[in-house]
Amino acid sequence: MSLLDDIKDLRATATEALGKVDIADTLEAWRIKYLGTKGLVKAAMQSLRNAPREEKPALGQAANQLKVALTEAFEAQKKKLGSLGSKAKKTAPKLDVTLPGNRPKIGHAHIISQTVSEICEICARMGFEVAYGPEVEDELHNFIDLNIPESHPARDPLDNFYLYPGAMLRSQTSTVQIRVMENTEPPVRIIAPGRVYRPDTVDATHSFMFHQVEGLYVDEGVTMSDLKTTLDQFCKAYFGHEVETRFRPSFFPFTEPSAEIDVLFHYKDGSTRWIELGGCGMVDPNVLKAVNYDPEKYTGFAFGLGIERMVMRRHNIPDIRFLYESDVRFLHQF
C-alpha cells in the first residue's frame, strides 16, 4: 500500500471516529490521538521524509490537506458538542450499575469502640444512662470516697500511675460512681465506660491501659436480685442467650456484700468453661454517706466489668496486644 493510500485511510478512520465522538472527554481523546504532538497525523507527516523525492510534493500536499481537514472537522465537532451542552451528556453512555464497584478504603470504629457502643445500647434498653468521668483523678474519687483505706494494697503507689502527689491516672471506672452521685440526687442509674490505667507488665492478658464499664443503680428498695437479673440479662444480650451466669462471693471495699460474676461458655467440642467478667455488689453504706445519700433510705448495686475480656471472649482473640497494635489486617476483621 502506498503512502498516499495510508494518508487516505487515516483520513477515513479519523473522520469516522470523530463522527462517533459525543462527549467532551472523548473529543479530547480523539484530538490527542490524531492531532496531538505525538498523534497519528504528525507521525504520517514524519514518515514522508523517507519517501522517494518525486513523490514528495503530492504526498506533502495530501498530508497537509489531511491535517487541515481534520482540524476543521475537529473544530466543527467541538462546536456541535458545545451547542448540545447538557443534552450531549445525557446521551453519553450510562453508568453500568451491574459492574462490581470499587469499594473505597474508608476506616471504621475500632472493635473496642464498637463494643462500648453496643454495651451502651444494651444498658440503655434497661434504663441506664451513660456517664463519663476524667481519666486524671484525685485520691478522693479513686480511693477515699470509695471506702478504700490508706492501708489497702490497691493504694500502693507502685500499683498506680501517680502524676504527682494526689493526682493519678484512674485505676478503675468506679470513680465515676462518686462523680455522678456527688452531683445528682437519687435515683441514679448509669453506666460509665472508659479507660483505666495500672502499671501491669504487658502480656497476653494484661496491659497498662484497658477499658472497664461501671454500672450503678441507687434508689429506694434496690436489692441484690436486681443486680443479678440485670447482669444476667446483660450477659445474655451481649454473649447470646445460651450463656449462664454465676455469682461468687468476693470482697471489694465499696460494696457489701460483694461478688464476682462469671459467665459459662459452651464450646463446639462440648466442653464448658467459666470466665470471670468482673466485680459487683451492693453499694457500701459508707460510699452512700460519702456522697451525702441517706443509707437508711437508699440502697444500690454497682458493677465493674472488663471490656477487653468481653471482646476477647466473644471474638476469640487470644492476645490483648492485638487490640492496641493498630494492625489493619487484624482490625478490618471487625
Residues that bind ligand DAH (CB under 6 A): 172, 174, 214, 252, 255, 278-281, 302-304
The whole-angstrom separation of Cα 213 and Cα 87 is: 60
Taking the least distance from each CB to ligand DAH, the nearer of 90 and 152 is 152
The number of beta carbons lying within 10 Å of the beta carbon of residue 90 is 10
Q: Least Å distance between CB 280 and ligand DAH?
A: 5
Q: Least Å distance between CB 256 and ligand DAH?
A: 10
Angle between helices 24-35 and 40-47 (to 10 degrees): 10
Q: Least Å distance between CB 101 and ligand DAH?
A: 46
Q: What is the dihedral of CA 288, 289, 295, 296, to 10 degrees?
A: -170
- The C-alpha cell that represents 145 in the structure block: 470516697
Contact between residue 299 and residue 225 where contact means Cβ atoms under 8 Å apart: no
Angle between helices 56-84 and 40-47 (to 10 degrees): 170
- Phi (first) and psi of residue 141, to 5 degrees: -85, -30
Q: Least Å distance between CB 237 and ligand DAH?
A: 19
Taking the least distance from each CB to ligand DAH, the nearer of 46 and 183 is 183
DSSP assigned state of 128: P
Taking the least distance from each CB to ligand DAH, the nearer of 30 and 210 is 210
DSSP assigned state of 317: -
Taking the least distance from each CB to ligand DAH, the nearer of 214 and 308 is 214
Taking the least distance from each CB to ligand DAH, the nearer of 81 and 306 is 306
Q: Least Å distance between CB 252 and ligand DAH?
A: 4
Q: What are the strands of the beta sheet with 209-219, ordered from one edge?
A: 129-130, 188-197, 209-219, 299-306, 272-283, 255-266, 244-252
Q: Least Å distance between CB 324 and ligand DAH?
A: 19
The whole-angstrom separation of Cα 244 and Cα 264 is: 5
- The C-alpha cell that represents 11 in the structure block: 483520513
Taking the least distance from each CB to ligand DAH, the nearer of 14 and 178 is 178
